[in-house]
Amino acid sequence: MTSGDTILCRIVSISGNHIIYEQQTGKKQISGKIILLDEVAEYFRSPVVQSSNDIYISRTPEHPWLLILSVGGGHMPWLLENVAEEEAGSYKGFNNGFVLNASAHYLITNNIGFGAQYSFFTSSIKNNDPVMISTFPVYTASDIRERQYINYAGLSVVFREFLDNNRKFSLNQTLGGGLLLYRNEDQIKTFIPDYSYVQPSYSHFQYVNSNILETGKTFGATISISAEYKILPYLSIGIGGSFLYGSLSKANVEYKNSSGDSGKYTGEKLQNSLNLSHIDYSLVLRFQL
């Protein structure tokens, strides 16, 4: 400066007769100013030297939200462990089903985040095997349709590890615990003797429709892992696997049939706990926003 003063500032632009610069006037305030070149005795810009090999990586992510969606299949290895051997064939395939998982986590660093997750599993069977209705023996036709739904929701923590310098490949692990809800719908159509006759016999039959609803809730816990590749700045795709634990010891049961019979039982203790644990495999989509 011609007056002997020195200004510490950031030069925005220089023209033939003036300099435009920014100067901090407070902790959070920056003012733009103009000074004529005639009033400047000397000026210079501090050199900025940075190696092309140096990469600056912030410990706090610029986009902290991780949203995950995965779809695939699931297997319940222990579901049929208490089913009688003669009935096991009727439930073939009931322990395999469809899985949908979703979660949202907020990253507090590039490697750790906290949030919540949701998991849905469903499977079904259809069976029309003959049913023995008398030790005579007498068999009759039946149509059985059964479907189960397992919903899980809980809090979770995610751990993320990058496998290369460009941060394209990553390994992600999630741990969580929460509430598991179980629902089983059973519809049975059976051709049985009509006992409305004075002298019932097996020459008179009728169809009886029965509906059974079983529900319950218990604690659930889950662990999952996935390997992913970033195809866009905000999108990664990969494959994953998970394990969800849950065991049901009490259930609510409702029963009703076309003959007018019905019943409702709340908090019934099951003779054998129902193991709802399942192992999943899925395609994973991860969005970072």
- Does a structural domain hold residue 166? yes
Are 277 and 137 found together in one domain? yes
Residue 248, pLDDT above cutoff 90: yes
Are 258 and 230 found together in one domain? yes
- Provide the b/e sequence for 133-152 (b: ≥16 CB within 10 Å): beeeeeeeebebebbbbbbb
Are 110 and 208 found together in one domain? yes
Residue 51, pLDDT above cutoff 70: no
Are 19 and 125 found together in one domain? no
- Does a structural domain hold residue 57? no
Task: Report the C-alpha gap between 132 and 126 in whole angstroms.
Answer: 18
Domain count, the chain: 2
Task: Report the C-alpha gap between 284 and 228 in whole angstroms.
Answer: 8
Are 142 and 196 found together in one domain? yes
Task: Report the C-alpha gap between 175 and 108 in whole angstroms.
Answer: 16
Residue 271, pLDDT above cutoff 80: yes
Are 35 and 142 found together in one domain? no
What percentage of the chain has pLDDT greater than the value 90? 49
Of 162, 184, 185, 159, the closest CA to residue 172 belongs to 159
- Does a structural domain hold residue 54? no
pLDDT band, very low/low/confident/very high, at 46 (cuts 50, 70, 90) = low
Alpha helices in the chain (DSSP H): 85-88
- Does a structural domain hold residue 250? yes
Are 87 and 37 found together in one domain? no
Are 137 and 201 found together in one domain? yes
- Candidate from 47-51, 183-187, 199-203 with smallest mean pLDDT: 47-51
Residue 56, pLDDT above cutoff 50: no
Domain that holds residue 15: 1-49
- Does a structural domain hold residue 76? yes
CB 69 within 8 A of CB 288: no
Q: Please give the pLDDT value at position 286.
A: 96
Are 7 and 116 found together in one domain? no
Cis-peptide into 137, omega within 30 deg: yes
Are 139 and 114 found together in one domain? yes
Residues 225-240 have a mean pLDDT of 96
Residue 81, pLDDT above cutoff 70: yes
Q: Please give the pLDDT value at position 19.
A: 80
Q: Please give the pLDDT value at position 156.
A: 98
Residues 126-144 have a mean pLDDT of 70
Q: Please give the pLDDT value at position 201.
A: 54
Task: Report the C-alpha gap between 237 and 257 in whole angstroms.
Answer: 48
pLDDT band, very low/low/confident/very high, at 12 (cuts 50, 70, 90) = confident
Residue 158, pLDDT above cutoff 90: yes
Q: Is the dihedral of CA 279, 73, 117, 214 positive or negative?
A: negative
Q: 169: domain CATH number?
A: 2.40.160.20
- Does a structural domain hold residue 19? yes
Report for 124-133, 264-273, 274-283: range of highest mean pLDDT: 274-283
Query: φ, ψ for residue 171 (rounded to 5)?
Result: -120, 130
Are 118 and 3 found together in one domain? no
Q: Please give the pLDDT value at position 110.
A: 85
Are 43 and 112 found together in one domain? no
What is the average pLDDT score of the chain? 83
- Does a structural domain hold residue 156? yes
pLDDT band, very low/low/confident/very high, at 17 (cuts 50, 70, 90) = confident
Q: Please give the pLDDT value at position 42.
A: 65
Residue 107, pLDDT above cutoff 90: yes
As to burial, measured by CB atoms within 10 angstroms (0-12 exposed, 13-18 middle, 19+ buried), residue 128 is exposed
Q: Please give the pLDDT value at position 131.
A: 66
- Does a structural domain hold residue 151? yes
